[in-house]
Structure 1
Amino acid sequence: MQRRAKVQVKVWGEYACFTRPEFKVERISYPVMTPSAARGVLEAIFWKPEFRYEVRQIGILSLGGQQAILRNELTSKQNKNPIVIESARAQRTSLILKNVAYWIVADIILTNRAVDPAAKYRDQFNRRVERGQCHHTPYLGTREFAAYFSSIDEDDVVKPVDMDIGTMLLDFAFIEDGSRKEMEFLRYEETGTRTAVGFAKPLFFEAKVENGWLHVPKETYQQLYALEGQNALRVD
């Protein structure tokens, strides 16, 4: 059974913010979309527990420009007790991107839970893109910056940009650990779905844009799966 299939989609938006984690208070965006943000867009369009997305490359259709804005944010997270907005509000500066567009290329990788070939999910993804359907509105880094999406058109051309970005966030590995009950998350296993407790560990890679394309190394996903202890049934 075919366990890998390629999908691609064009995404764009008026604003975007792919926050660099090394800045603790102010939000400073990476100059291009991160693989984790690209995965979020793909999952907003179509997702099933039978597969995972591995982002292969991100093409720059429009690099856009930078813009500084002032936003109201909350200093604490919502929990069982209500938040009084007036006492938890803080104004923070964000350096965001404006008028961006990207070409996302990714692989659908089946898990042990899948019984259908990867091509079936690829075709479902393509139909949803053509119809403009999504599970929820995709966004570019933060939820207030909505993303639009469509199929790749023959007129779409990647900009010939070269850029050494340095260390970039790949994604988060959700690690099950009973001694670090920092969060709850779902585990989609062959026998069903269960709730696990543990923590999230960020993974990084050395990013470089060459001739308009940001390439994501395959081995970074192998590291992610090793940390999570899950078998994504890779096809190399």
Structure 2
Amino acid sequence: MRNSIEFEVYGDYALFTDPLTKLGGEKLSYQIPTYQAMKGILESVYWKPTLIMIVDEVRVMNAIRMESKGIRPIDYSGGNTLANYTYLKQPRYQVKAHFEFNMNRPDLADDRNENKHHNMLKRAVKAGGRRDIFLGTRECQGYVEPCVFGEGKGFYDEVEELHFGHMVHGINYPDETGRNQMEIRLWNPVMRSGIIQFIRPEQCTQVRKVSDMLPKTFNSSNVEFVDRLLAQIGEEGNG
């Protein structure tokens, strides 16, 4: 696929939180990562507002195992609260994704250089990402490295079909949809032979509005050209 990238992401723990379990202060991970979590990992590897990252497939390499821990969350009222968080243990995934240009951002049209961004994305994956990688939440450190999608033996390769029920797919933001609101998407994922094929965000039929939101604009008030900054640095150095 055009502008595609393949990589492996893994860590000791992951917490792809089921939002239904957060109401009482407890957290329970989904059994598989959400589309939004994988997209967030990819954007930590390489992010530009010019691009929209599309996650195509995820291959579950290790057995789905859970581990509960007693956690002391920050209690700003001064209490001594103990919560129970249930994590995925030793998660490892192969990811296949690609990028497309964000056509809802005409202000960034000059940055639509396909070859440049693809090469920078591949270098970022090889370097392990430009920013820290987290598997769902900050306490779950992740690691990224290049791979060939489908290579190696996965735990669920011989499992014909596995359903995971109703779960979050991801979040719609106004700079990607053109609508001035934040929305949540829901879907029903199915894993076949260890592989989850994600539907595209616009294919999700179950969409719920969360709140009104305006996209951030980039113009002369908050963007400076590199050449101008370098010239300014040179003048200060000569002075």
Q: TM-score, normalised by structure 2?
A: 0.72
1:19 is paired with a residue of what secondary structure? coil
Correspondent of 1:20 among 18, 22, 26: 18
Runs (4 or more) in structure 1 with deviation over 6 Å come to 222-225, 227-230
Per the TM alignment, residue 188 of structure 1 is displaced from its structure 2 partner at its CA by 8.3
Question: Taking CA–CA contacts closer than 8 Å with sequence separation of 6 or more, which of the two structures ends up with the larger relative contact order?
Answer: 1
Matches within 5 A, 1:123-202: 123-134=119-130, 136-152=131-147, 156-159=152-155, 160=157, 161=159, 162-174=161-173, 187=175, 200-202=182-184
Which stretches in structure 1 are left out of the alignment for 5+ residues? 76-82, 176-186, 190-195, 231-236
Question: How well do the aligned residues superpose, as a CA RMSD in angstroms?
Answer: 3.1
CA distance in 2, matches of 1:109, 1:31: 28
- CA offsets per residue over residues 160-191 of structure 1, 9 Å max, x none? 1432001121111235xxxxxxxxxxx589xx
2:98 is paired with a residue of what secondary structure? strand
Of the two, which has the highest radius of gyration? 2
Aligned equivalent of 2:236: none
Per the TM alignment, residue 63 of structure 1 is displaced from its structure 2 partner at its CA by 2.8
CA distance in 1, matches of 2:184, 2:6: 25
CA distance in 2, matches of 1:156, 1:224: 35
Larger helix share, 1 or 2: 2
Name the amino acid aligned to 1:110. F
CA distance in 1, matches of 2:66, 2:39: 23
Question: Paired residues, what number?
Answer: 199
Larger strand share, 1 or 2: 1
CA distance in 2, matches of 1:208, 1:53: 21
Name the amino acid aligned to 2:91. V
Name the amino acid aligned to 1:100. P
